[in-house]
Amino acid sequence: MQAISKALKGRDFISIHDYTAEEIKLVLETGAQLKKENKDGIAHHHLQGKTLGMIFQKSSTRTRVAFEVGMYQLGGHALFLSPRDIQLGRGESIKDTAQVLARMLDGIMIRTFEHEEVLELAKWADIPIINGLTDLLHPTQIIGDMMTIKEHKGTLKGLKCVFIGDGNNVAHSLLFGGAKVGMDIIIACPPGFEPSAEILTLARQDAQQTGAKLSVMTDPQEAVRDADIIYTDVWASMGQEDEAEEKEAQFLRYQVNQQLMSLAKKDAIVLHCLPAKRGKEITDEVMDGPQSVVFDEAENRLHAHKAIMALVM
Ligand code: CP
Ligand code: NVA
């Protein structure tokens, strides 16, 4: 397959910001091609004989299954490393863990709390490190999401994508993703829950190249006007469960419901990275409704992850 170039071999996949617009385009195109060929029954064993270690310090359904199945479909093997079982959970350092795993594996996917842990792992392991979510970023999610938007809208450039809710890890990676592909991103969040100013500044630097407009506002109704994509996520992310109840009152008007949807474009699509708290950030009516593409979005994690692994490993 021509798209599996040598260009990205050996690279870490920690943030979309680390990649050029052309490289992100290559990842998206590779994902779309691998998906099509998978549907056509064409198998690719790009990673035959290779092993991916998967460290999960937080729960996961989609990310874990997509990486594990993706690795299998590419002819390789994936190893689930639970902190309950590996010595990292008993205090062995990331530095030592990285150096040991790098001698045996061909790549590591890690989902953890502090983003710095991923950077530390990458510093000490001379094999590709893939960020499977941190408190700061969720880059593999946004690759699958942009594939989904492209499938449904035919393009990414010039679209208006409105993220409603908490300025969290998904919002941050969406800002980076939009900036790379020229898609406008509006984050509508309650005061005090804005995305990081540092991320916004970096994303705006990237956006200068593509013309994407990135903005943050508090009024969800104003934000969704003329939106092509409405995106939401939980109000309390993993690790913030204690804050969930307290946050709820501030987030009530940020629910994606039919009334809010009626203010967007008629053909707007709805994304949610999942898992969803139905009845909180999104209603059943919207999530199960005709504009929702959330399960296509979940499926595309598989193809997105295959593309990332095939390109960097
Ligand atoms: N969207 C996502 O990353 O889902 P999981 O937490 O189930 O992996
Ligand atoms: N923002 C959510 C995304 C889950 C995939 C979290 O971090 O829990």
Claim to verify: residue 260 and residue 122 sit in the same structural domain: no
Q: By the 8 A CB rule, do 175 and 214 touch?
A: yes
Q: Any idea which residue has 């969040």 for tokens?
A: 189
In degrees and rounded to multiples of 5, residue 164 shows phi and psi of -110, 125
Claim to verify: residue 82 and residue 131 sit in the same structural domain: yes
CA of 133 to the centre of ligand 2 (A): 8
Active-site residue set: 111, 138, 141, 233, 273, 301
Q: Whole-structure pTM over 0.95, yes or no?
A: yes
Please enumerate in sequence order all residues whose Cβ is within 8 A of that of 114, keeping only pairs 6 or more positions apart, or say none. Answer: 134, 135
pLDDT at 250: 96
Nearest residue by C-alpha to atom 6 in ligand 2: 237
Q: Which two tokens stand for residue 139?
A: 């880059």
Q: What type of residue is 35?
A: K
DSSP string, 81-150: E-TTTSGGGGT--HHHHHHHHHHH-SEEEEE-S-HHHHHHHHHH--S-EEE---SS--HHHHHHHHHHHH
- Count the neighbouring beta carbons within 10 Å of the beta carbon of residue 253: 14
Q: By the 8 A CB rule, do 136 and 111 touch?
A: no
Claim to verify: residue 34 and residue 122 sit in the same structural domain: yes
Asked if the structure places residue 4 within a domain, the reply is no
Claim to verify: residue 293 and residue 148 sit in the same structural domain: yes
Asked if the structure places residue 218 within a domain, the reply is yes
* Torsion sign across C-alpha atoms 34, 211, 231, 233: positive
**Taking CB atoms and a 6 Å cutoff, what residues make up the pocket around ligand 2?**
133, 138, 168-170, 233-234, 237-238, 273
Range of the domain at 239: 141-298
Claim to verify: residue 62 and residue 161 sit in the same structural domain: no
pLDDT at 2: 53
CA of 213 to the centre of ligand 2 (A): 24
Claim to verify: residue 292 and residue 219 sit in the same structural domain: yes
Asked if the structure places residue 11 within a domain, the reply is no
Q: Any idea which residue has 């995106």 for tokens?
A: 231
Claim to verify: residue 293 and residue 240 sit in the same structural domain: yes
Claim to verify: residue 263 and residue 307 sit in the same structural domain: no
Asked if the structure places residue 35 within a domain, the reply is yes
Pairing verdict, β 129-131 and 107-111: parallel
Please enumerate in sequence order all residues whose Cβ is within 8 A of that of 58, keeping only pairs 6 or more positions apart, or say none. Answer: 111, 112, 113, 133, 238, 239
Q: Identify whether 275 is preceded by a cis peptide bond (ω within 30 of 0).
A: yes
Can you give the CATH number for the domain in which 263 is found? 3.40.50.1370
Please count the structural domains in the chain.
Answer: 2
313 residues of the chain, pLDDT tens digit each: 555 678 899 999 999 999 999 999 999 999 999 999 999 999 889 999 999 999 999 999 999 999 999 999 999 999 999 988 899 989 999 999 999 999 999 999 999 999 999 999 999 999 999 999 999 999 999 999 999 999 999 999 999 999 999 999 999 999 999 999 999 999 999 999 999 999 999 999 999 999 999 999 999 999 999 999 999 999 999 999 999 999 999 999 999 999 999 999 999 999 999 999 999 999 999 999 999 999 999 999 999 999 999 999 9
CA of 103 to the centre of ligand 2 (A): 31
What 3-state DSSP class applies to 303?
helix
Q: Any idea which residue has 């946050």 for tokens?
A: 247
Asked if the structure places residue 190 within a domain, the reply is yes
d(CA 279, CA 282): 6
Asked if the structure places residue 24 within a domain, the reply is yes
Claim to verify: residue 251 and residue 267 sit in the same structural domain: yes
- Count the neighbouring beta carbons within 10 Å of the beta carbon of residue 120: 17
- Count the neighbouring beta carbons within 10 Å of the beta carbon of residue 305: 30
In degrees and rounded to multiples of 5, residue 13 shows phi and psi of -120, 85
Q: Which residues pair with 163 in a beta bridge?
A: 187, 231
Claim to verify: residue 258 and residue 160 sit in the same structural domain: yes
d(CA 10, CA 146): 23
> In a 10 Å sphere around its CB, with 0-12 CB exposed, 13-18 middle and 19+ buried, how is residue 212 labelled?
buried
Asked if the structure places residue 290 within a domain, the reply is yes
Q: Is 274 in the pocket of ligand 1 (CB under 6 A)?
A: yes
Q: Which residues pair with 230 in a beta bridge?
A: 162, 270
Q: Which atom of ligand 2 is nearest to the CA of 233?
A: 1
CA angle 135–59–68, rounded 5-degree value: 105
Pairing verdict, β 160-164 and 77-81: unpaired
Claim to verify: residue 308 and residue 214 sit in the same structural domain: no
Q: Any idea which residue has 């009516």 for tokens?
A: 285
Q: Any idea which residue has 């501030």 for tokens?
A: 250
Asked if the structure places residue 285 within a domain, the reply is yes
pLDDT at 3: 53
